[in-house]
Structure 1
């Protein structure tokens, strides 16, 4: 039995050559009528198509149209994907406001292709037409007269036109004469299905990778150690680099070689997608709280001159019970931790453990117990605010908030 299935449908140019494929969610895991369900479906399509199968296996050298919801765009999900391989398809029910406009403009400036799905000309869409690349028209729904009217309305704009739901050869011919550039529909190909087995990710390993990758002073040796010690992480990294969208001149011989070849920017992109894959069913607030706790521990460590990376790891690992849905002792037993780190997390011992107790008390607003070394409570409060802002920034990069 396949763990997942992905639908794809060809998009052809005027000469009926394949221009791209639209990647479609096919499954019953999410209610696509709900905003959060549609968003999770998009996230699942991304992780399955890139991490599991590899984009080349699904669309070959062509581009992939991927549907993005309001939440996906606000989370800047597309920025974790290669701009030369995807088309950001903005769904017709996206709530257009200043934030959506700003984020889509940013994507355009970064070089992403923007397509507006099931387009109907209206005032709310005008700001997006200014920088959209492709407009998709449902010609079955619009009918010939409305289609011609919409084309006239779009003439002042520098956009390509894509006709959806083309069902006959005659339709293709007259739509081509009307000025359409691309075509999609049952006349050419019904959506077909690609199935695959999903290789599970150790959530603790993914969290630890996320912890290290967002350290501004991270070194290749640290990444090599974390990834090489986990078989699934190693497999997924090699699969990503060898089959996704890189022109690798030589075969990758080791994890160190892969990391050196990709560079930190691409490794960070990969780890962000990976984290999404392992945590996609968890509430965003849960991971956000874990990151706030970790960053605040790190900040307290900085303020007293201690090793902040150690404090950060203590903070984030202390949340594993809620993230993995298992007792904290069992979660920690999966990791090669030193005794002092384990005692810091479980018993609040040592400077890092004291910092963790301070952070937890602050989170629960147990002000009488908020104390760490000789730090003023005002400074501790400032560390909390800084940690909230940092967590939001990190999660926006990890396409979860």
Structure 2
């Protein structure tokens, strides 16, 4: 396990497909606000994320934005990384001089993508526009009027624009129309609420199935019957159980046998996952986020000796609002969940609720909230990494 807390944040294109991830990191043994500490941190994340963990495990086939300090650029650290996978992000506190400019130009000539964070028109930064590929705009700090003005000023240059700290769908819409190419922020994790929205026929049927699956008093026969009556789910569940993901000694040909072999809890888990996959017409990243959240909650529960399946359910169902585009309270009303599960999801109460709050803070990279009981933060970071790799494996077999 890396001696670093490692996170990531999605960067979307105009169609809300994942374009890249920004890798986030925090050192345990030195101060990242210090210049030397930040340089060491960048060097360490390169070692941890690419050499040890594997870049594909963290970002899949997508690009990775990595922040580089002045010293990193002077030492030509980026040249240790694959040019087709890494975006060199130049932070606003980088001290731009002739040597730094020339090194960045060299990186560009060797095929690296160069992104300028919080770019401002100034004498020292202006030359970077000759070869930079992406400019990141902090739309929260600038506000809409200033953002529109900057976008207009940058249009003459052959540069793509990435709007960061996008909080709402309305912001995403105006930024897309104004000319931004990429988007980063929490807007995607929030439901796109529409007054009076009704669930589609397939979604209603899926919610009914979730009702049976998550009934705390459900019996073996009732769960088997409910799954078997849904031909699509029955087929998908058997197909998934018989996939390489499970490596079973013999083929499962019936739901009854699958439940007998795997147990009620395990079949309930996979039924939840497969049913959630049918609920959303959004990009795969919505389900991916729910899976990571569920698995990370499960890992936190396991680490403190609590029921992992209970924590998993709290984590995965807490994303229903984003998946369905309805308020979370409304989604919870439609499911016969135990009161402690509902209170954990809606009010962050109980141990599972505290774990969920920790996970959400980790997703948002809110350092002050990235704690749970007496767990070392490195264990929490490792739980997040396990969630990423597990979700990748699950989606690869769906």
TM-score, length basis structure 2:
0.48
Structure of higher RCO (CA pairs closer than 8 Å, 6+ residues apart): 1
Q: Which has the larger radius of gyration?
A: 1
TM-score (normalised: structure 1): 0.47
